[in-house]
Amino acid sequence: MFDVIIVGAGPAGLSACLEAKKNNLNYLCLEQNKIANTIRNYPKGKKIQKDYMGVSLEKEGELFFEEVSREELIEKWERIVHEEKLNIKENDNVLDIKKEDETFKVIANSGEYKTKNVILAIGRMSSPRKLEVVGEDQNNVFYRLDDPGEYSDKNILVVGGGNSAIEAALLLSKKNKVTLSYRKSELFRLTNENQEGIAKNENVNVIFESNVEEINGKEVSLNIKGEIKKLEFDYVFILVGFNLPTEFLDRIGVEVGEGIESNIKGIYLIGDIKEVKNITHAINDGKKAIEVLKNGL
Ligand SMILES: Cc1cc2nc3c(=O)[nH]c(=O)nc-3n(C[C@H](O)[C@H](O)[C@H](O)COP(=O)(O)OP(=O)(O)OC[C@H]3O[C@@H](n4cnc5c(N)ncnc54)[C@H](O)[C@@H]3O)c2cc1C
């Protein structure tokens, strides 16, 4: 019987692992891909920023975090996992969690595990939000930017107004003509770096109060303040956020609320699944959850 099973090995899950180890808890972390899967999906070479989402926090958890590149951060965390011998199973998807009296049965690809507590550190990045418009399923439409270096001399539409969209637009604008379509009249919750970057950049044409209505091959119908304009783009990047994994949460019966403790005693929610913020917030949540649950063991 484990004291705690941690689902997800992003910054929140990794931080909880370190804290569980420090407190001599019998823990296991199950990760459906490789550790830090969300960070692996950032654009190649991206510099990690600390005040992401406009939220500046002091780091309380032990997990290393500096403003390094995506690649350096992953390498550092892989080294920590190895050196600390953290008990993490990669490529192991958690499918369901069942309450059995005062304990839980965690059902994963690799088998079933019994535990006194469960920490859900699953983030939200597995399900990107869609626009729900015709043509969104075409092969020139993407929901993440992997390698900006793959694109040059193209006409590219980026949809969204958050940090991911701005970063993608700035990276792509180095070698391409970029248009940013955003539904609101101004940008908000940006990091200082992204705010200054987009203000200074003359290669990104920002169209506020615009919505994509349809994508037909290269032709995109854009509703700009009520007027439909048809514009041509080689590629469309839709970077408008992520949905909660509601199917998974409903199956377990967990509701996302304000705090770390969920509506089911013994199940904790940490990091982005609780509230979309940033890496520091996720790391701090990992530490807090172990502090709270160890008192009840
Ligand atoms: C493009 C982009 C750029 C960003 N840049 C920054 C930045 O510069 N600075 C910053 O601070 N923040 C940044 N963020 C936000 C940051 O990535 C998140 O706030 C942070 O990753 C949240 O950590 P987490 O551990 O809660 O979730 P995640 O990092 O999303 O980790 C969740 C983990 O759970 C795993 N998982 C999910 N479901 C299951 C399951 N059923 N079974 C097993 N495993 C599962 C996933 O594979 C994943 O590894 C960025 C986000 C995006 C999308």
Q: What is the pLDDT of residues 44-55, one digit of tens each?
A: 988 999 989 888
What contacts 281, CB < 8 A, 6 or more positions away?
55, 57, 271, 275
Q: Which of 64, 120, 122 to mutate to test the pocket of ligand 1 (most atoms within 8 A of CB)?
A: 122
What is d(CA 211, CA 185) in angstroms, rounded to the nearest whole number? 12
Residue-wise pLDDT for 94-142, tens only, equals 999 999 989 999 999 999 999 999 999 999 988 899 999 999 999 999 9
pLDDT at position 283 over 90: yes
- Residues of the chain within CATH 3.50.50.60 domain(s) are 2-126+242-294, 141-238
Q: Is the pLDDT of residue 93 over 90?
A: yes
Share of the chain above pLDDT 90, in %: 89
Closest ligand 1 atom to Cα of 242: 53
Question: What is the tens place of the pLDDT at every residue in 228-263?
Answer: 999 999 999 999 999 999 999 999 999 998 899 999
Per the CB < 8 A criterion, the answer to whether 6 and 34 are in contact is no
User: pLDDT tens-digit profile of 132-181?
Assistant: 999 999 999 999 999 999 999 999 999 999 999 999 999 999 999 999 99
Lowest mean pLDDT among 2-6, 35-39, 272-276: 272-276
pLDDT score for 297: 86
- CA atoms within 13 A of residue 262's CA, in its CB half-sphere: 22
Q: Of all residues in the chain, what percent carry a pLDDT higher than 70?
A: 100
Nearest CA to ligand 1 atom 15: 278
The atom of ligand 1 lying closest to the CA of 280 is 11
| pTM of the complete model beyond 0.85 | yes
Q: How far is the CA of 36 from the centre of ligand 1 (A)?
A: 7
248: DSSP letter: H
Task: From the options 3.40.50.1000, 3.50.50.60, 3.40.50.620, 1.10.10.10, give the CATH code of 141-238.
Answer: 3.50.50.60
Q: Residue 54: what pLDDT?
A: 82
Question: H or E stretch including 78?
Answer: helix 70-83
**Average predicted confidence (pLDDT) for the chain:** 95
At the fourth CATH level, the homologous superfamily of domain 2-126+242-294 is: FAD/NAD(P)-binding domain (3.50.50.60)
Q: What is the pLDDT of residue 284?
A: 98
CA dist 186 and 19 (Å) reads 40
Q: Give the pLDDT band (50/70/90) at residue 194.
A: very high
Cα–ligand 1 centroid distance for 52 (angstroms): 12
Q: What's the confidence (pLDDT) of residue 189? A: 84
Q: At 88, is the secondary structure helix, strand, or coil?
A: strand
Reply yes or no on whether the pLDDT at 10 is more than 90.
yes
Residue 127: the pLDDT is 85
Q: Residue whose CA is closest, atom 16 of ligand 1? A: 278
* Residues within 6 Å of ligand 1 by CB: 7-13, 30-33, 37-38, 42, 48-49, 52, 93-94, 121-123, 125-126, 164, 271-272, 277-279, 282
